[in-house]
Structure 1
Amino acid sequence: AEAGPVATGPVAAEAIVAGLAALGVETVPVRIGADDTDRDRLATRITEALGEAGAPGGVVSLLALDEAPHPEHRDIPTGFATTLALLRALGDAGIDAPLWCVTRGAVSTGGADRLGAPAQALVWGLGGAVALEHPQRWGGLIDLPGSLDEGSLRALARALGGRGGGEQLAIRASGTLARRLRRAGAGRSGERWQPRGTVLITGGTGGVGAQIARGLADEGAEHMVLVSRRGPRAPGAAELEAELTERGARVTVAACDVADREALERLLDSVTGDGVDLPLTAVVHAAGALDDATVDALTPERIEAVLRPKVASARHLHELTRALDLDAFVLISSIAGTVGAAGQGNYAAASAYLDALAQRRRADGLPGTSVAWSAWAGGGMIDGEVADQLRRRGAPPIDGARALELLRQTVAHGDGFLVAADIDWGRFASALSATRPLPLLADLPEAGGTGQDPAGAEREEAGGAAALRTRLVELSPADRHTALVELVSEQAAAALGYADAGAVESGRAFKELGFDSLTAVDLRNRLNAATGLRLPVTLVFDYPTADDLAGLLREELLPSGEESADVDTAALAELDRVQSTLAALELDDIESATDDEMFELLDGMFELLGRDLTAS
C-alpha cells in the first residue's frame, strides 16, 4: 500500500516498491489516499487488485511516510489515518496476511541517530494495540534509514520474510536492530530537577497535573500557571489554587485550549512578555483524554478527540517555546505507547508521539523528557475499577509522591525517554503475549515466555483445542453447556485478575463485572487460545454474559450438523466396543463375572442408550 501524495525526501514509496521488485519480491501496489475512507470500497479495491493472485503472503504499508495533515482532520497526519483505513479494510476483505508498517525516522537507535519524524511514531503506538487485537493480521514495524541503498533494501526484504529478529525493527547502515525494553539501572545520582521561576502545567487542574503542581510547590516553585480548557471553572480549581498558595507558591489558573495554537501563543505571551518578573523556565504537558475503542471501532473523530489535546498541544508547546531558555520540557506519556494496550490504539499512538518528540528535542539540543507511566494513584484518567483491574493484572497504580521523585530525577539526569511503572512483569506480560510472542520484553527475565516459538505455541494451541472439542462431543448437551460456561468463567476471571472463576457469575453482564475494551480483548485472546477459534474483539459486547458466550462457543465448536455426526460416530464406536465385549464373553463368563464387572458393562450400555436417544 503506497501513500497517496508520495513522501518527499530521499526515501519515496516508488523507490521502495521498485527496490523490492528488483530483489525478486512480487508486489501488487495499491495506492491509498486521504479520500479512501470508505472501508467497504477500499476492501473491494484491494480484492480486485489481488485478482487471481489470491491471498497475499504479506502486506507492506508505506502509508505512514505521508505526514501531511489530513484535509478533513487537521490534527491527524494523513498517513496515520490511511494506515487505520487499511487495517480495517484488510479485515473486511478477509485478509489475515501479516501487515508490516514502514516508517522513516520514527525511532532512534542511539544518541547519534537523530529521530526526525515524531508524527510517524503514531503508527508505532497504534501497532502495539493492533498486535493485541488482531495478532493473526499483524506483522510488525520497520523503520528505514534516511537514504536507501541495496543493502537497506535487502535488509527490508529479510525483515518482511520474518528474518529480522523481532517485530519492531530499525534498519540502519550498521545492520538491523530489534527494539527491546531494558531496565534503566539503579546507579543514578541523587540530583533532582529544582523548579524555579514560572512553571506552566497543562492539565494542571486534573488528577496528575494537580499532583505534580503540589509536589513542585513543596519543592519551591515560585509561580505556577495551571492550564485547562475550563480554567477557574474546572471542578476543584479554586480549592487547588488556595492549597498551592498556602504552600507558598504564586498561582495563576488559566483557561486555554492548548491545541489552539493562537490561543496558546497569547497565553505564552502573557507569561513571557515585558514586565514579567518570573521567567518561564519549565513546561509540563499533563493534559490528555481517553476514548477507549478497538481498532475496528476507531473513527477519525475518535482519533482526533485523543490526538488533539495530547499531540497537537505538545507540538504547539514545542514550537512556541523552542526559542526560550527552558530548564525542563516534560511530557507525561503512557506505557501504552511502548508495550501496547488493547482498546486504546488512539491513546497509545498519542503516547508514542510524545516519546518521539522528547527524543527529537534532545537531538536538537533542547530540553525534553517523556516518561511513559503506568497509572498514577490518587486521581487521573485511570482510577477506580480500572485501577483495581490493573492491580489484579500485575500493574498497580504508582504512588504519586514516588512518581514525582522519579520524574525530578529523570529530568535532572537528562534522559529523553524512560518507562516508569510499578509492574509485576510475570503477571502483566502473560496477557500481552497470550496470542503471540512479544520480543520487546525478551530482555526482562521475569517476563518469561514472551519470546516463545510461534510454531510451537500454535501446535500447543491446536492440541488443546482438539482435546476440548473431543471432550465436548462426549458430553450431553446440558453438560456441554455447563463445561463451556465454566471455561468462559475461568478465562473471564483470569482477564479481570481474579484467582477464582466463582467471581464471574454466569448470568451477570460482563460490563457489570468491570470489563472494558482492554479486558474484553484479553478475554477474546484467551478464548481463542483455548478453543482454536478466531473470535471477534467485540465478543463480550455482542454476547454480554457467560451463558450467552457459552452458546456461541458451542455453535462455533460443534455446528449443529457436525455435532450430530460426531455424536453418531462416537455412539457407533461405543456400540462396537460393547458388542465386541459381549461376543467375547461365554455364558459361564457372565455367570462368573463379579458385580463390579457387570455394573461396568451395564453402565456402558446405558450410556450408549442415553446418547442414542439424545442424538435421535
Structure 2
Amino acid sequence: IVLTSRRGADTPGAAELLADLAALGVDCRVARCDAADRAGMADLLADLRRDGPPLRAVVHAAGVSEVVPLAETTLEDLAYVIGPKLAGAELLDELLDGVELDAFVLFSSIAAVWGSGGQGAYAAGNAYLDALAERRRAHGLAATSVAWGPWTESGMFGEDAPEQLRRRGLRVMPPGLAMAGLRHALAAGDTCVTVADVDWATFHPLFTALRPSPLLADLPAVRALAARPAEPAGPAAPTGRDLVAELRPLPAEERRAALLDMVRTDAAKVLGHPSADAVDADRGFLDLGFDSLTAVELRNLLTAATGHELSTTVVFDHPTPAALADHLYAELFPDEGDPGEGGDEETVRRVLAAIPLDRLRQAGLLDQLLRLGRDTAGPAPTVGAPPAAPEGEIRDLDVAGLVRMALEGSDS
C-alpha cells in the first residue's frame, strides 16, 4: 500500500499508522505527494512502475470542506474546495490511461447527491467525481464513486457536528461499517453509490419541509414511511394546561399578545437564546437564523403547547413571529372570524406582512402594491417623508420590508 499526502511521513499519526499496518503484515509506505501536483504524481507513478509490483487499485480520497453561503462564495473559495477533488481525480485518470486496474475508487459525498447547506462548492466538486466515474465506465474502465455520509473518527467536521447531524437524521458511521459498504459496492460493480446511515423518519420530513423531493420519495424506506398507517388521533403531549381555555376569557388583543409571547419564547428556545428579547416580532424567521430543522422543532413545540396539529411548513408559510401568532389565533379561535375583519391599520399591516412574497406575485398584487405606495406618495415627497428606495434595495427586501415600504408610503 502506498499512502500519499502533501506532508508525507510528517503527517500527524503517520508513524503510528505504519506501525499498525506492519503488525498486520502489510507492506506500506508513505510518500510526500500532492494529488493535484502533476509533476509529483507523475514521478511517483514512475517510481512505482520501476520499483514495485504492478499497480492494481487507486483510491482518491483527497478533499477539503468549508461552509460558505452560496451567495458569498468567491472564485477563490471554489478553487480551494474543488481543486483537490477535481485536479487530483483528473490527473489520476490521465496518468493511468491504458493501465488495467481492478478498482479506481473516488470518495464523493452525500452533498453531491441531495445537497448540504453552505457547501455548494463541495457539492459541485464531488458531483464532478460522480460524473468522472460515469465517463470512465462508459469507456470500459474501472470506476466507483462512493457518496459518503458522515464518518466517525476521520469525518470532516467539528466536535459538535455529530449531535447536529443526529438531530437531522444522519448517524455517523464507524469506519468498519463504511468499509463494509465499500466492499459491497466494489463486489456489486457499482459506478455511483451512496453509503450513509440515515434515519429516514427524521431526515425526510426535515429535508422536504419546504419542497418535495422526487429523488428521496421513491426510496423503499421513505415509501414505507408514507404507507405506514396514521397513528390514531389522541391528546397532544401533556402540557399541564388548556391554552384555549386559558386565553378565551381574555380580550382579543391580549390573546394575540399571549400567543406572540409564546411564539417568541419558543423561537428563542429553539435558537438557543436566553430570552424572547432576542426574537423581534416583525423580523423574518430566516433572518433570525431558522433552517428546516429549527423550523420543525418550533412547529413541534407550538403543536404541543396548543394541542393543534400544525403543518411542517408553518414557520415558512407565516414568516415572522407576529404573522405566526396571528395564524395561531385564527386556528385556535375560528369562531371569532378573521382577525383582519376590524380593518384597523395595525391588523392590516400584520396580515399583509404574513403573506409570502410568491403568493403576492402569483396573485398579481406585488406590482400593484408597490405602485400604490409610489402613487400615494405623490411626485414630490412631503417634508419628513422617507426617500424612495432605489431599485436594488427593493430587490433585497423581504415580504415584511416590501409591505412596510408600501404602507409607509401611503401614510404621507
Q: What secondary structure sits across from 1:250 in the alignment?
A: coil
SS in 2 for 1:474: helix
1:242 to 2:23 alignment: no
Contact 2:9 2:32 in 1 (8 A): yes
Structure 2 gaps of 5+ residues are 227-249, 280-288, 299-311, 326-338, 351-412
Q: Does 1:484 align with 2:254?
A: no
In 1, distance between residues paired with 2:344 and 2:19? 70
| Contact 2:268–2:276 under 8 Å retained in 1 | no
The equivalent of 1:444 in structure 2 is: 219
Aligned to 2:346: 565
**In structure 1, what is the Cα distance between the partners aligned to 2:278 and 2:346?**
34
Aligned-pair distance for 1:413? Answer: 2.1
Contact 2:109 2:149 in 1 (8 A): yes
State the Cα distance separating 1:366 from its structure 2 match. Answer: 0.7
Given the alignment of the two structures, is residue 315 of structure 1 paired with residue 90 of structure 2, yes or no? yes
The structure-2 alpha-carbon separation of the partners of 1:317 and 1:423, relative to structure 1 and needing over 3 Å to count, comes to same
- Paired with 2:34 and 2:278, the residues of 1 have a C-alpha distance of 38
The reply to whether residue 396 of structure 1 matches residue 171 of structure 2 is yes
1:336 to 2:115 alignment: no
Q: Contact 1:334–1:373 at 8 Å: present in 2 too?
A: yes
Instruction: Give unpaired runs (5+ residues) of structure 1.
Output: 1-223, 452-470, 493-502, 511-518, 536-548, 570-616
Shift of 1:447: 2.6
Offset at 1:436? 0.9
> What is the DSSP-based 3-state SS (H/G/I as helix, E as strand, rest coil) of the residue aligned with 1:317?
helix
Aligned counterparts, 1:32-71, within 5 A: none
Alpha-carbon contact 2:34-2:41 (below 8 Å) kept: yes
- CA distance 1:568–1:332, change in 2 (3 Å): closer
Aligned position for 2:331: none
2-structure distance, mates of 1:357, 1:345: 19
How far did residue 277 of structure 1 move? 3.3
Pick aligned residue for 1:280 from 55, 61, 74: 55
Distance 1:362 1:529, change over 3 A: same
Q: Secondary structure at the match of 2:28?
A: strand
Structure 1 residues 330 and 440: CA distance shift in structure 2, 3 A: same
Question: Could you tell me whether the CA contact under 8 Å between 2:261 and 2:276 is conserved in 1?
Answer: no
Q: Is the 8 A contact 2:162 2:172 kept in 1?
A: yes
The yes-or-no answer on 1:530 pairing with 2:314 is: yes
Shift of 1:480: 5.5
C-alpha displacement of 1:229 = 1.4
Is 2:264 the counterpart of 1:474?
A: no
| Cα offset, 1:427, TM superposition | 1.1
In the superposition, the TM-score normalised over structure 2's length comes to 0.61
2:113 and 2:143 mapped to 1: Cα distance? Answer: 18
User: Could you tell me how far apart the structure 2 residues matched to 1:449 and 1:439 are?
Assistant: 15
* Cα RMSD for the two superposed structures: 3.8
Question: CA contact under 8 A between 1:293 and 1:343: conserved in structure 2?
Answer: yes
Residues 172-571 of structure 1 mapped to structure 2, 5 A cutoff: 224-272=1-49, 274=50, 276-382=51-157, 384-447=159-222, 474-475=253-254, 479=258, 482-489=261-268, 492=271, 505-506=274-275, 521-522=291-292, 529-532=313-316, 565-566=346-347
Distance 1:364 1:324 in 2: 13
TM-score (norm 1): 0.42
8 Å Cα contact 2:67-2:118 kept in structure 1: yes
- Check whether the contact 1:282–1:328 (CA below 8 A) recurs between aligned residues: yes
Deviations 1:182-204 (A, max 9, x none): xxxxxxxxxxxxxxxxxxxxxxx
Answer whether contact 1:281 1:326 (CA < 8 A) is retained: yes
Distance 1:288-1:550 versus aligned 2 partners, 3 A rule: same
8 Å CA contact 1:342–1:521 kept in 2: the answer is: no
Q: Tell me, what secondary structure is at the counterpart of 2:201?
A: helix
Counterpart of 2:130, as a letter, is D
- Once residues 64 and 252 of structure 2 are traced to their aligned partners in structure 1, the CA distance between those partners, rounded to angstroms, is 48
| Superposed counterparts of 1:85-104, under 5 Å | none
Residues 479 and 243 (structure 1 numbering): CA distance in 2 closer, same or farther, change over 3 Å? same
Q: What SS does the corresponding residue of 1:407 show, helix, strand or coil?
A: helix
